């Protein structure tokens, strides 16, 4: 036995149990009322601590070219930050190049990721180009072990409604799952030009050009295409109130629609864009009004939200400053991969949500939905991706404690009650009381297969 964690409280969606947990090699080998310390190489007394599965962040953008630059965390920095926040599996979006087969996209990006990753990782492929039979490379990617894809309804690399419908139909044919960034491109473009023409360039106009209904409309439309294609859909970063209702209505009709939301939408509202540093909060979709935030929390508690993920996509301050006077020049995205699990668990500590629900949203559901069979659950035979969490430790987020390469954090000053003490990735300690202690290149690419 390589590691024995004694007397901890293990939490799953099914509840809490007081038990010992043993690790042999990279796997959890036992969960028991009492495991003798005898043969254990290392014993930890977790009395008073929570023993949790490592979180899965199904939505990050590492080293991604965007807005004339590249997101500031590469695969090492991003996965290091993840490890230090108790996240042991990171999904990155690999952006297809024009003319590129989808498996080639994965291979191209994996060449970057493999030598850098500090925890295990996986790819969704973001599809841009269907021409010349490229759409049929979906099946090849599924067979390769990358069965999840994304389409953008916005940005210049977004797809048309016609392409999106075709992609969904192909996904149905080969058992893939399509995620969607849902906002209405044309309304945004129109509002942006109006505001700029009127001389309104501050971050507040970023919100005004993408208000609630711009997202809700696209949610509704995306779901319609999924209905026509008769296939599941995963909506990333759902941030608006009406979208929650739209998802529920779709499910009541029998559709499988997953909804992801992000910690930033649960903590901040659009009011942040009125702050002097508003541009640092610019991401898309933007934070929304209080009614949307309230609805997202309610949706979490009534089972509408399927997963929490971060949309981690940081840019340095000097890059954010490009858009000081013109919000369209601000690269979209913020850091968050290190904050998700601590933030959600702290909210459980406050009673806003149950610990069990947090484990379901941050660990079990992403594992199940995206086919990570060895992840998300503390059970014998699963990967020993484990977080030791101290529910009593106070922690205030400040930039200097973070492990991203980004030079600032929108979470600056946010106080948490409870924080991770240690993170294990496949049995290896990678984070210990504030410090990254893992190793670049330790993380492995997850090949996945979706459950039918």
256 binds a copy of itself (CB under 8 A): yes
187 binds a copy of itself (CB under 8 A): yes
Both structure tokens of 230:
């008769």
Contacts of 111 (CB under 8 A, 6+ apart): none
Closer Cβ to a copy of itself, 297 or 436, answer by number? 297
Both structure tokens of 47:
């009395």
Q: Cβ 314 to a copy of itself, closest distance in Å?
A: 30
Give the N- to C-terminal CA distance of the chain in Å, as an integer.
35
362 binds a copy of itself (CB under 8 A): no
CA distances in angstroms from 417 to 45, 257, 305, 392, 394, listed in the order given: 21, 33, 23, 6, 5
Q: Tell me which stretch binds a copy of itself (CB under 8 A): 57-65, 101-109, 216-224, 426-434.
A: 216-224
Q: Cβ 340 to a copy of itself, closest distance in Å?
A: 21
Site for a copy of itself in 59-78 (CB under 8 A): none
Q: Cβ 420 to a copy of itself, closest distance in Å?
A: 22
Strands 87-95 and 120-126, by their bridges, are parallel
Which DSSP category does 361 fall into?
I
Both structure tokens of 252:
């009541």
> Residues 294-333 vs a copy of itself: string with x where CB under 8 A?
----x---xx------------------------------
Closer Cβ to a copy of itself, 190 or 396, answer by number? 190
9 binds a copy of itself (CB under 8 A): no
Residue 417 three-state SS: strand
Q: Cβ 190 to a copy of itself, closest distance in Å?
A: 2
115 binds a copy of itself (CB under 8 A): no
| Number of residues engaging a copy of itself in binding (CB under 8 A) | 60
Closer Cβ to a copy of itself, 136 or 221, answer by number? 221
Tokens 């297809």 belong to which residue? 96
What is the spatial distance between Cα 202 and Cα 146, in angstroms, rounded to a whole number? 40
291 binds a copy of itself (CB under 8 A): no
Q: Cβ 224 to a copy of itself, closest distance in Å?
A: 5
Q: Using the rule CB under 8 A, which residue among 15, 48, 115, 434 binds a copy of itself?
A: 15
> Residues 85-104 vs a copy of itself: string with x where CB under 8 A?
--------------------
Q: What is the DSSP string of 280-320?
A: GG--SSPP--HHHHHHHHHHHHTT---EE---B----HHHH
CB 119 within 8 A of CB 88: yes
Residue 223 three-state SS: helix
Q: Using the rule CB under 8 A, which residue among 65, 115, 381, 413 binds a copy of itself?
A: 381
Q: Cβ 184 to a copy of itself, closest distance in Å?
A: 6
Closer Cβ to a copy of itself, 349 or 441, answer by number? 349
> Residues 16-55 vs a copy of itself: string with x where CB under 8 A?
-xxxx-x-x--xxxxxxxxx--------------------
Q: Using the rule CB under 8 A, which residue among 38, 98, 111, 186 binds a copy of itself?
A: 186
Strands 428-432 and 415-425, by their bridges, are antiparallel
Closer Cβ to a copy of itself, 190 or 290, answer by number? 190
CA 204 to chain centre: 25
CA 197 to chain centre: 35
Q: Using the rule CB under 8 A, which residue among 362, 377, 386, 421 binds a copy of itself?
A: 377
Residue 306's nearest CA partner among 221, 252, 367 is 367
CA distances in angstroms from 123 to 21, 89, 93, 109, 446, listed in the order given: 30, 11, 6, 9, 8
Q: What is the 3-state secondary structure (H, E, C) of 261-275?
A: ECHHHHHCCHHHHHC
Residues in contact with a copy of itself by CB under 8 A are 10, 12-15, 17-20, 22, 24, 27-35, 160-163, 165-166, 184, 186-191, 194, 213, 216-217, 220-221, 224, 228, 245, 248-249, 251-252, 254, 256, 298, 302-303, 364, 368, 373, 376-377, 379-382
């Amino acid at each position: 036995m390589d590691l024995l964690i004694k007397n901890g409280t293990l939490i799953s969606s099914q509840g809490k149990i007081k038990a010992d947990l043993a690790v042999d090699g990279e796997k959890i080998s036992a969960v028991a009322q009492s495991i003798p310390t005898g043969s254990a190489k290392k014993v930890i007394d977790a009395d008073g601590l929570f023993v949790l599965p490592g979180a899965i962040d199904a939505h990050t953008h590492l080293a991604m070219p965007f807005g004339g630059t590249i997101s500031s965390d590469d695969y090492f920095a991003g996965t290091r930050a993840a490890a230090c926040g108790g996240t042991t599996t990171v999904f990155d979006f690999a952006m297809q190049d024009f003319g590129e087969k989808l498996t080639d996209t994965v291979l191209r990006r994996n060449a970057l990721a493999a030598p850098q990753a500090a925890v295990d990782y996986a790819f969704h492929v973001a599809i841009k180009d269907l021409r010349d039979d490229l759409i049929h490379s979906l099946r090849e990617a599924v067979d390769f072990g990358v069965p999840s894809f994304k389409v953008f309804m916005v940005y210049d690399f977004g797809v048309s409604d016609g392409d999106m419908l075709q992609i969904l139909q192909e996904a149905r044919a080969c058992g893939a799952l399509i995620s969607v960034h849902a906002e209405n491109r044309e309304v945004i473009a129109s509002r942006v030009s109006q505001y700029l023409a009127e001389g309104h360039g501050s971050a507040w106009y970023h919100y005004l050009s993408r208000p609630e209904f711009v997202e809700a409309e696209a949610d509704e439309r995306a779901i319609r295409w999924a209905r026509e294609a008769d296939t599941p859909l995963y909506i990333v970063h759902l941030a608006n109130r009406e979208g929650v209702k739209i998802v529920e209505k779709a499910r009541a009709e029998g559709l499988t629609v997953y909804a992801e939301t992000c910690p930033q939408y649960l903590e901040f509202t659009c009011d942040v864009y009125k702050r002097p540093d508003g541009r640092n909060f610019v991401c898309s979709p933007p934070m929304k009004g209080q009614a949307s935030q309230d609805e997202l929390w309610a949706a979490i508690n009534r089972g509408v939200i399927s997963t929490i993920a971060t949309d981690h996509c940081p840019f340095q301050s000097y890059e954010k400053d490009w858009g000081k006077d013109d919000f369209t020049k601000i690269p979209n995205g913020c850091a968050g991969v290190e904050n998700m699990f601590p933030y959600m668990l702290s909210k459980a500590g406050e009673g806003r949500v149950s610990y069990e629900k947090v484990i379901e949203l941050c660990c079990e559901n992403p594992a199940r939905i995206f086919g990570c069979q060895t992840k998300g659950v503390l059970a014998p035979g699963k990967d020993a991706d484990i977080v030791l969490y101290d529910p009593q430790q106070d922690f205030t987020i400040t930039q200097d404690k973070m492990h991203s390469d980004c030079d600032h954090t929108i979470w600056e000053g946010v106080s948490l009650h409870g924080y991770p003490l240690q993170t294990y990735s496949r049995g290896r300690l990678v984070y210990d009381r504030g410090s990254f202690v893992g190793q670049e290149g330790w993380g492995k690419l997850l090949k996945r297969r979706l459950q039918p």
